[in-house]
Amino acid sequence: MKFDLISEEKFKYVEQGEGEVVLLLHGLFGALSNFSVLIEHFSKNYKVVIPMLPLYELPREEISVMALKNFIVDFVEYKQLEKLNLVGNSLGGHIALLFCLHHAEKVSSLTLTGSSGLYESALGDGFPRRGDYDYISKKTQEVFFNPDVATKELIDEVFDTVNDRRKAMNVVLTAKSAIRQNMETHLHKLTMPSLLIWGKEDKVTPAFVGEKFDQLLPNSELHLLNNCGHAPMMELPETFNRILDNFLLNVTK
């Protein structure tokens, strides 16, 4: 399913469906194709909105997780969105946490999947070698339990980013900012209903990270998925959608 990317002011975003808002925040490598099944499923009953994070547009001196959070604040105000059901994967989960911390009044629920904010091994043993497609393909496949989930489109996206010096530096700076912006001492303040969907074989934010989030968030439920890595919405989309569906039904009824 192909989705139209809307460009308005400084924002680029996808918007599908009507109803309560499901605001999806993507990670460092957040191609829309990663979320196509989720968008198609939830846009039948919700307004699904995906703002594209300005990962490569921010000036180097401004790059931080907090700057990305502020961008989402501006987007929410521009779109006049209320009662948000935030869904964040990886870095997007970290941004969602910061948004909830500073703007809880706008949030109905929070869903994290493979989120940074407590611990992450986002770059593994170093940023992938530039120009080595086979190596980058292998590193991308390692994000998933099933390496076949790493499509050529996704591998090409990572390869292109790594081989663009400016983009690669922005990714590194963003990842370092995420490590510095640890959320552990703040999570007790986030009292909204929270759903945690984690892959048991996640190598980037291992399963114990999801368990730690569950311990620290006051109103959370955790689902650990077998045979699943860092992106459950891609590897096990039907299971992911079913869990999120049930959660949202309880939150929005």
Per DSSP, the residues of 193-214 read -EEEEEETT-SSS-HHHHHHHH
Give the tens place of pLDDT for each residue, 213-231.
999 999 999 999 999 999 9
Return the domain boundaries, the chain.
Answer: 6-252
63 contacts 175 by C-beta, under 8 angstroms: no
Cα 97 from chain centre: 11
Residues constituting the chain? 253
**Cα Dmax for the chain:** 51
| 36: confidence class by pLDDT, cuts 50, 70, 90 | confident
Give the tens place of pLDDT for each residue, 120-164.
775 444 455 566 888 888 888 888 999 998 888 888 888 888 888
Give the tens place of pLDDT for each residue, 6-25.
999 999 999 999 999 999 99
Query: What does the pLDDT read at residue 124?
Result: 41
Mean pLDDT, range 109-118, rounded to an integer: 95
CA distance 49 to 16: 7
Tell which wins on pLDDT, 196 or 177.
196
Strands of the chain, DSSP E: 6-8, 11-16, 21-25, 47-51, 84-89, 107-113, 194-199, 220-225
CA distance 183 to 205: 14
Where is average pLDDT lowest: 41-45, 111-115, 117-121, 202-206? Answer: 117-121
pLDDT beyond 90 at 108: yes
Query: What does the pLDDT read at residue 40?
Result: 93
Q: What CATH architecture applies to the domain 6-252?
A: 3-Layer(aba) Sandwich (3.40)
CB atoms within 10 A of CB 153: 10
Tell me which residue has tokens 């969602």.
96
pLDDT beyond 60 at 76: yes
